[in-house]
Amino acid sequence: MMPSWMLRAVRASSGLRGRLIGTFVVVMVLGAAAAAWAGVQQSTASLIRSHTDSAAAELISRVTQASPSVRYPPRQDSLDQLRNAVGVNSLVSFDDHISRSGFFASGWESVPPDLRSAITTQERSDEARVSMQRVESDGAPWLVIGTPVMITSPGGQRTPSGIEVYAAYDLTGVDEQVDALVRNAATTTALVLPVAVLLAILASRSVLRPVARLRATAQSLASGDLTARSESAGVDELAQLTRTVNEMAESLQSSMESMAQMEEGSRRFAADVSHELRTPLSTLTAAVEVLHDVLARADYADLSDEDARESAELAFHETQRLVTLVEDIMEVARFDAGTTRLRRETVDVAEVAQECVSIRGWSDDVRITRVPESSASERTSTVCADRARLDVILANLIGNAVTHGDAPVHVEISTRDGGVSVAVIDSGPGIPPNDLPFVFTRFYKTDASRTRTHGSGLGLAIARENAIVHGGTLTAQNRDDGGAEFTLWLPVNVPDASETPKEDRP
């Protein structure tokens, strides 16, 4: 397994800082290498040119000094005399006579053919020039220089004498100097590397410091601190980006504050309206109940009295529905305001489900089972929860299954993942796929054609909010074999000290 420090290094090298440092180092090293190589090439060319020019000038000087004392046509001793004047590694020839020593001990084999051809060509002109060529002999570099000897008449006319002079100069010292230049250039380039890395790190810090500040500002904004800002200085692209981010943060803060005020106003309005409606609704409910009971006991025979009974019946049910709607809206307002308080106690989910079904008269349509089956003494479905709110969750789920699905409705209670799971499964056609993501949305109706329903449209939303405040989850899905399935999961936890204890219940 890779060590943590190596992982951090890999991540850093693959990030913006690593790419910036790498690019900077590569550019500096390549620049230093190019400059060093250009310097080496220039120095090498200058060194070789200086050495060859010096060798050619030396050869011309010696030939010029020695040639007047040579008889013409020269004999062998004259050729030897001229060769001795030129130096050890030299060759002098005239027609079939040759005098050689040192490098040219093997005779014409040591003279490059191209070089001799160039000298022979010059002998047919009135101007003598020095020709030279680099050769290798026994692994060592040599410079071979050749020139024809010219005869100057008393009138100043120059004519070829037919004498050819060749001299060889060892270039080993020159090559050693060139190698030293290359090594120095390589050493200089290597020394540039740590300096380049240091400069790249310093440059990356100065370049990425504004980026780091922007990242810190973005993290603060993401965590909810809408007052976070980055200091912008300069006129470069990063400064412009910083100002843009600050402007965005100011706009976001203004929008969020406006939305918070609007949301707070909406919650306060809903809570105030619901609260104000409770008193007149209580009075209206009592009056309608009395009217309903009176008409139910009366024995009226005419049609108008029958209409009165139907009107009273309708007013009674609609008043009850309005009361339920107001209570649900007030409950939602408490969830939104964060004022919901749990009164936890140890409860058996299976018992709460059985009581919920029995009280509401759903026993004929609902089947409650434990999965797997267990004895009551094992208490596998025991959780620490608010019993009243748990009843609200189960009543909404089971009532929704009974009302909008087909019987029988199965309630399966099991334990998993450190909690208790309650699956409410109906035998209906299931939830339309397009409506499935919105079943917990407030006032959302899966059948748009039904303008009036028995419930308030808030039951499933309230059930989900109650599950969340318990630390649980509530999900919905369609089963492969048909029917809708709502699954409630509650953790087996202990009461929170901040929640209202059971003894404080009114």
The domains found in the chain, sorted by start residue, are 70-170 (3.30.450), 238-337 (1.10.287.130), 344-504 (3.30.565.10)
Summarize pLDDT for 81-128 with one digit per residue, the tens: 888 888 888 898 888 888 888 888 888 888 888 888 888 776 555 555
The pLDDT, as a whole number, for residue 499 is 47
The pLDDT, as a whole number, for residue 302 is 47
**Listed range (216-220, 320-324, 487-491) with the worst mean pLDDT:** 320-324
What is the mean predicted confidence (pLDDT) over 211-235? 78
What is the mean predicted confidence (pLDDT) over 52-64? 84
Cβ 460 vs Cβ 301: under 8 Å:
no
The pLDDT, as a whole number, for residue 375 is 47
The pLDDT, as a whole number, for residue 122 is 64
Going by pLDDT thresholds of 50, 70 and 90, the confidence category of residue 448 is very low
Specify the DSSP class assigned to residue 428.
Answer: S
The pLDDT, as a whole number, for residue 299 is 52
Summarize pLDDT for 251-268 with one digit per residue, the tens: 888 887 777 777 676 666
* Beta strand 382-386 pairing with 344-348: antiparallel
pLDDT beyond 80 at 439: yes
What is the mean predicted confidence (pLDDT) over 409-434? 90
Angle at 84 between CA 79 and CA 85, to 5 degrees: 100
Backbone angles phi, psi at 422, to 5 degrees: -125, 115
The rounded distance, in Å, linking the Cα atoms of 240 and 234 is 8
What is the mean predicted confidence (pLDDT) over 168-193? 81
The pLDDT, as a whole number, for residue 317 is 67
The DSSP bridge partners found for residue 292 are none
Give the list of residues 6+ apart from residue 362 with CB closer than 8 angstroms, or none: 398, 399, 402, 409
Cβ 445 vs Cβ 457: under 8 Å:
yes
Q: What is the mean pLDDT of the chain?
A: 76
**Single-letter amino acid, residue 133:** Q
CA 388 to chain centre: 48
Residue that wins the pLDDT comparison between 332 and 10 = 332
The pLDDT, as a whole number, for residue 145 is 87
DSSP per-residue string spanning 69-111: GS-SS--HHHHHHHHHHH-SSEEEEETTEEEE-GGGTTGGGGS
The pLDDT, as a whole number, for residue 378 is 47
Going by pLDDT thresholds of 50, 70 and 90, the confidence category of residue 376 is very low
Write out the E strands in 111-264.
131-137, 140-152, 158-170
